Amino acid sequence: MRLVAAAVVLGLAVGSGTARVVGSADSPSEKMAETVVKMWPAGVVTAVNHPGVWGYEEGVLLDGMAAEWHSTAVGADFKYIKAAVDKYVADDGTIKTFGAEAHSLDSIEMGRAVMLVYQVTQQAKYAKAAKFLEEQLAGQPRTPSGGYWQKETYPNQMWLDGAYMAEPFRAAYAATFQQPGDFDDIAKQLLLMDAKMRDPKTGLMKHGWG
């Protein structure tokens, strides 16, 4: 929970317009970034449910670091993200500790960090890793209406989580590698959630549908 909380607070600080001033400790987002680096140096992040393995908890934290980097252009932030990605992505593009058989949308989330590192470095191994994740989504089980299952262990269940775990990565991949046709299906996933999960009385979204 500390890991997710750190990422959320970091993202909120950046989203509120707080920018890091190099060499200053006054910015809340800078303080949070410094805390992240101190707690998990060299991008080696451990979480309760996924200690030292590829998982969405680390991906959420890296999203916060990426938001900070986009806001300030401090090179150390990008190096941190790259170091975290590099401990999983091998030279041939394979992703260490990735559980493909689980067909879990949670495992796609960290692909956003892979896409960022590829966009900056243009190194082939990151493109290969992103392609693997894109192919993983292509084989993701679906409900009869075409919505992604959240994971193999929950047949025919579509979760709101998928809007965060899978669609941002897929959109970044489609835009980067010029696959505009994918956006129709990306939109379909979100529209299905809106149609099936929104409570007509409150307007609030339910967690899942199946």
Positions annotated as catalytic residues are 161
**Geometric angle at alpha carbon 74, from 8 and 44, rounded to 5°:** 55
72 neighbors 34 (Cβ within 8 angstroms): no
Strands (E), the chain: 158-159, 208-209
Region of residue 31 (left: phi > 0; alpha: psi -120 to 50; beta: else): alpha
Output the six-digit token pair for 130.
């992103």
CA distance 17 to 71: 8
Question: Within a 10 A sphere around the Cβ of 78, how many other Cβ atoms?
Answer: 19
Q: Which residues contact 17 (CB under 8 A, 6 or more apart)?
A: none
